[in-house]
Structure 1
Amino acid sequence: MLPVRTRPGVSGLLLVVLALLSAAAPFAVDMYLPAFTELAADLDTSAASVQLTLTAFLVGLAAGQLLIGPLSDRFGRRTPLVVATAITVVVTVICALAPTIWLLIAMRFVQGLTASSGLVIGRAVGADRTEGAATARLFTLFSAIGGIAPVVAPLLGGVLVSAGWRAEFWALSGIFLLMFLGALFVVPESLPPERRHTDGIGGTLRTMRDIGSDRGYLGYIFAFALGFAGMMAYISASPFVIENVLGMSNRVYTIVFATNAAGMVVAGVVISRLVGRFGPGPILRIGQAVILVAGIVLLVLLVAGAPAALVLPVLFVMVAATPTVMGTASALAIGRARHAAGTASALMGALQFTLGAVVSPLVGLGGPATGVPMGIVIVVCACLGMIARRVAATAGEVARFEREAAHI
């Protein structure tokens, strides 16, 4: 069993702030979706141009992690986080005031760049202040709490849409302001000067190369990202599956989606306790097995045209198990690269959103009247995730054998 904690740890208030930092990006993605039509009309532009505001943010989010993660390894966690979150507040205000779609697209890209600091540095701070099972517990809670954002964001957006699309960005400005204040007053500097990387761009590239050549790290980040990709398949397809395939109303869909999110939170809290007893490795294996079995049963039910009474409980189990996989896999990945936790977190986050972006369109290939593509994508992601975890575990076994051989 891994040690529970030998580092300073994370207080309740710091946990809340780190969770807010990790949830800010999903809010920026989902909250203004209900206002797309009104935004297009107000700025006299096309739906495709409005969609570009979302694409620009996601591109900025992926690129920003690759930039800010290494910067946090070089200059410490606090300064890049405070500066980036301050810029995010300013940029979001500009978005709310944008007179043209092209200024909005440009600002959304910058917003993604700077908002990524919460994701990448939040994980790095958690890794700096915990280790072993404590890191896995923390990251599992992050994944569980982060599951609330995709539910709350569109609901809040739906409430604000009557006030206009600019109200959505003013509300986002308030969220990012809270993020900035949390970074300024609550998040400590967790990377002391003697542990920082000071060898410039060349050193950063070498660090990325070294981390990327670690088969164990790669296996775990793919297990993490594929767990997220399966969740994105569910998020992207669930409105069509629940409303069109199962024949339920939008109101019921909202209740189902919220119930599944609550299941993620409860499961995350339970698993965060169990991981301290059994360690992240066994919990990861069990979580992946649950998702795979649930995914296969879900696919069979969807192919057979089963009723909602059978489909929804299986869907709940699959969703609730996701924080188990994402929390433990991310902790195990970071654990193999603690010397450069910011860079390791950045690579993991970039892969996460890349796979999520690839998967989301796939679930719509069969049209809105079938959930089979969603089931297929979930099963494929679960299978590939298990393969990735096995590759990582094998790398760990090889490393152990090499250490033992060195002492013979």
Structure 2
Amino acid sequence: MKEKQNSKVFLLILLGMLTAFGPFVTDMYLPSLPSMGTYFSTTSSMVQLGLTASMAGLAVGQIFFGPLSDRYGRRRPLLTALWLFIFSTILCLYATSIEWFVLFRLIQGIAGAGGIVISRSIATDKYTGRELAKMLALIGAVNGIAPVISPIIGGALTDPIGWKGIFCVLLGLGFLLLLGSLRFRESLPPEHRLATRWSDTFHSFRTTLSDRQFVYYVLQMAFAQGVLFAYIASSPFIVQQYYGFSAMAFSLCFAVNAIAIGMGAVLSAKFRHPSDCTVTSCAGMVVMAIAECIALMADCNFYIYEGLLLALLFCVGLTFTSTTTLAMECQRENSGTASAWLGSICFAAGGIVSPLVGINDILSSTGIIFVLCALASACCIFIALGKRRTGLYLNLIYHKNQSVPNRKSFGAE
């Protein structure tokens, strides 16, 4: 008798929530950082270490859980990650010093990474081609919106329930995901798992990194993520300090920008091939980043800044889904490891870029980082596809009947 499978609607909800898990773990408590300094009787820099620790955990955890999911299937590592998250969140609530809190945040980040990396692997197990692109469109939309909207939710909760209340909300989310994961049916059959000893599990890292095209797809995604994190790090200062808007008005701008990212991710599935979408989005990022940089250096008014930013973030949303599809199709046989590299390098890129916007004048620094990341992202996709194929993909904007396939998913040249 054939084993009953999860419905597509169930998978959409579960994978979407798992994708949002990491950003919520990292960003939701940001508005409560000042009150935490008072609670632990410590400096703001020590409290910030909790954020740094969770980002490090999200990067390292994906490298850990990705190969394990290729070896042992998706369900067991996912359940392990969620139990670890629940345990570490309880420890955070009862931390007696900032040092213990930072340590528990590191563990919490590692656990949260399991949901991110395994959600992409499950999608790759269940779907191919355009169906995979559509499923990853949802994941890309959530992945783009969650880091932006989670501080807004945290800001609304900070005054009424405080930082411990926010961690209680995260604990409740962990239990909810655990219940969903208990219902989840394994998506990677034993015959498709990596038949290696545990000590050889991480051998797949070398396999994925030897794939030149996959590496450039990951780098392209990482630089696009750099644009997003540069925006997240700089916008509170630009909107509130430079343009003089209130915190509530800033939150509304954050929400509108999150919608632009989500729309880009969803509409990316409308392209005939993911490669078309990535090339188009990279070209758009370069144009809009240059325009935004010029506007910021020219002391433009808020509406010009926000209008150009909306267009830039829309392009970022486009590339999140399409590049994820291309990268995962390249390494379908090592999808867990591939997903791990994709997630960890993107989080690392965000962590590197974020503090750079504070160098010298934040307006010019942000504009320059936008341009550098957009250009680097375009260069990576140019190298990944090759000069001739990139030109053909750009021509597809005008000649929709042409079809230039991706190496594995759409055939080799």
Mapped pair 1:308 → 2:302 = yes
Mapped pair 1:352 → 2:352 = no
Mapped pair 1:143 → 2:137 = no
Q: CA distance change for structure 1 residues 138 and 395 in 2, over 3 Å: closer, same or farther?
A: farther
* Pairs within 5 Å for 1:282-301: 282-301=276-295
Count of aligned residue pairs for this structure pair:
390
Cα shift at 1:87: 1.7
Matched-pair identity in %? 33
Cα shift at 1:316: 0.5
Give the corresponding residue for 1:63: 60
Give the corresponding residue for 2:382: 390
Kept in 2: contact 1:225–1:351 (CA 8 A): yes
What whole-Å deviation, never above 9, does each CA across 1:29-63 have from its counterpart, x for those lacking one? 11111211221211222222211111111111111
Kept in 1: contact 2:21–2:112 (CA 8 A): yes
Q: 1:96, 1:337 → 2: CA distance?
A: 39
Q: CA distance change for structure 1 residues 140 and 395 in 2, over 3 Å: closer, same or farther?
A: farther
Cα shift at 1:364: 1.0
Aligned AA (2:324)? S
* Pairs within 5 Å for 1:2-401: 11-162=8-159, 163-185=161-183, 187-201=184-198, 203-272=200-269, 274-275=270-271, 278-367=272-361, 370-394=362-386
RMSD after superposition: 2.2
Moved over 4 A (4+): 395-400
What whole-Å deviation, never above 9, does each CA across 1:61-117 have from its counterpart, x for those lacking one? 111111110000000001110121122112112211222222211111111111101
Q: 1:84, 1:169 → 2: CA distance?
A: 17
What whole-Å deviation, never above 9, does each CA across 1:185-218 have from its counterpart, x for those lacking one? 2x32111101111313553343211210111100
* Stretch moving more, 349-358 or 176-185: 176-185
Q: 1:214, 1:395 → 2: CA distance?
A: 18
Kept in 2: contact 1:280–1:328 (CA 8 A): yes
Cα shift at 1:314: 0.9
Q: TM-score, normalised by structure 2?
A: 0.89
Q: 1:396, 1:38 → 2: CA distance?
A: 56
Q: CA distance change for structure 1 residues 9 and 280 in 2, over 3 Å: closer, same or farther?
A: farther
Kept in 1: contact 2:144–2:320 (CA 8 A): no
Q: CA distance change for structure 1 residues 214 and 247 in 2, over 3 Å: closer, same or farther?
A: same
Kept in 2: contact 1:141–1:323 (CA 8 A): no
Q: Alignment partner of 1:147: what SS?
A: helix
